[in-house]
Amino acid sequence: MKKKYWSIIYGSIIIIFFICCFINQSHSSVSTNPHDKQTISSEQFLIEIPYQLWIEENNYCLNLYEPIEGCYIGAYILANKYVDFDIQEFEKKVQKPHSTYMYNLKLGEPFPLDWVLDCTSQMKVPHIIIHPPSHLFPYQEHLLEQTSKEFGEFFIPMFVQLYPNFTDYMGSPSEYKNFFQTASRIFKKNAPNVSIVWSLPVENLYHSFLYDPGDVSMDWIGIHVNISTKEQEKNNNKDILQSIYDFYITYQHRKPLMISQLEIAHYSTKNHSYYINETKTILKEIYDKIKTMYPRIKAIQYMNTYQKEINSLNHTYENFSITEQPEILDTYKNLIASSHYLENIDVQSNGEVYPQWILLDTPIYYLNEKLYVSDYFFAQPYIQTKFNNLVKKPIIIKNQKLYSLESICKDIGYKLKMNQRKNCIYLTFDRS
């Protein structure tokens, strides 16, 4: 009787097992594109792997003063009396020479010749931000001719950042673009020694395309990042880092990138609070990521401002200096000590062809020992620009389209290499 009882139980278990298998298989069957008859019997092997995907741009021409690799470091020191507004005093504190130094100028104001010559005598490259003569009447084209001639007179290497806060000026986006294009053209004619920077505020990143003057009108693309104590209180560091990442993904394939102005407040007179640890953390996040993840960011300039008025009504000031608090200064010194951060400007490589690596913001899937990507791959700005005619047939799993990465590489003439130590996949140009 016992034997019969256990036989019934054993048989029931086998039947239940096969029923479960059948149900699982029916739910895991793959719908396929009618033009692609490939069938996947089960999706249990489909996993998203935490790898970065990089593609080689093998035909990239370096822009004016763009280094082959590495990142220039620069600073603004003209609003910090505790370094005597002096290059040597600043570099004594940070213990490393910087490539560039910054100056603010309104269009039409006298050219700062003494300051430029002081920079040049110390082998520094001036980075001059040109602001409108008036916010109500910003686009005064008649001032461009004389100003550009002054910038070109001594043929000194310089960066010129034109009209950085485009939403602050009266007028439409088209007026801004037209003026920027005109200014760039006049500067290129009268001051070919000047590298033109189009820079955007981080808070305006997601509609910056409205003000984009086009590749012909610029040599570099920048972003300026201001992190106030209000942002520190909100613990918005993740949002700032995400914005820098989005900026990178959007513009990396077009021009060399720079963080044209970085300023992080560690003290406010409003509540007399310090944010030392928060400042150290965000500094480390940004400078480390440039070194390890953002090879196309090729310049970063810190705004070493001692006191900056945040609110004129209640006279609130914030301190953005990296040279005042020992902990912040030590953090900065350690970060820039890396050989990735460059002391001198490359004035010779303009126009030379050097491969560059482009980061693709797309998930990667592993299925039956092969790698796949989704539609996100084809939505990448670089892919849309470089391979806009690429058409692939997908396999479909639960309404998600997947494309063989190996097949894509074959079609575009690339090879696939995986680096498991770095968790990276590289698509390299097939030179065979």
Domain ranges of the chain: 29-57+355-429, 71-342
Over residues 38-56, mean pLDDT: 77
- pLDDT band at 23; cut points 50, 70, 90: very low
Q: Is 119 exposed, middle or buried (0-12, 13-18, 19+ CB in 10 A)?
A: buried
Under 8 Å between Cβ of 211 and 166: yes
- Give the chain as a 3 state SS string: CHHHHHHHHHHHHHHHHHHHHHHHHHHHCCCCCCCCCCCCCCCCCCEEECCEEEEEECCCECCCCCCCCCEEEEEECCCCHHHCCCHHHHHHHHCCCCCEEEEEEECCCCCCHHHHHHHHHCCCEEEEEEECCCCCCCCCHHHHHHHHHHHHCCCCCEEEEECCCHHHCCCCHHHHHHHHHHHHHHHHHHCCCEEEEEEEEHHHHHHHHHHCCCHHHCCEEEEEEEECHHHHHHCCHHHHHHHHHHHHHHHCCCCCEEEEEEEECCEECCCCEECHHHHHHHHHHHHHHHHHCCCCEEEEEEECCCCEEEECCCCEEEECCCCCCHHHHHHHHHHHCCCCEECCCCCCCCCCECCEEEEECCCEEEECCEEEECCHHHHCHHHHHHCCCCCCCCEEECCEEEEEHHHHHHHHCEEEEEECCCCEEEEEECCC
47 vs 90: CA distance, rounded Å: 51
- Residue 4 predicted with pLDDT over 60: no
pLDDT, residue 313, reads 55
Over residues 38-48, mean pLDDT: 62
pLDDT in tens, 144-194: 999 999 999 999 999 999 999 998 888 899 999 999 999 999 999 999 999
- pLDDT band at 1; cut points 50, 70, 90: very low
Tell me what percent of the residues of the chain surpass a pLDDT of 90. Answer: 76
pLDDT, residue 432, reads 81
- pLDDT band at 312; cut points 50, 70, 90: low
> Average pLDDT of the chain?
88
pLDDT, residue 220, reads 99
* Comparison of pLDDT for 23 and 379, the residue scoring more: 379
* Comparison of pLDDT for 17 and 306, the residue scoring more: 306
- Residue 5 predicted with pLDDT over 80: no
- Residue 17 predicted with pLDDT over 90: no
- Residue 63 predicted with pLDDT over 70: yes
Q: Does domain 71-342 have CATH number 3.20.20.80?
A: yes
Over residues 375-380, mean pLDDT: 94
pTM attached to this predicted model: 0.88
The pair of structure tokens assigned to 211 is 């003000």
- Of these ranges, 7-11, 125-129, 166-170, 318-322, the one predicted with the greatest mean pLDDT is 125-129
pLDDT in tens, 337-377: 999 999 999 999 999 999 999 999 999 999 888 999 999 99
402 vs 373: CA distance, rounded Å: 6
- pLDDT band at 392; cut points 50, 70, 90: confident
* Comparison of pLDDT for 90 and 43, the residue scoring more: 90
pLDDT, residue 302, reads 98
How far does CA 179 lie from the centroid of its chain? 25
The CA–CA distances, whole Å, from 172 to 135, 143, 162, 200 equal: 13, 20, 16, 16
pLDDT in tens, 273-305: 899 999 999 999 999 999 999 999 999 999 999
Q: Which residues pair with 38 in a beta bridge?
A: none
pLDDT in tens, 92-117: 999 999 999 999 999 999 999 999 99
Closest CA to 206 of 171, 169, 255, 239: 239
pLDDT in tens, 184-226: 999 999 999 999 999 999 999 999 999 999 999 999 999 999 9
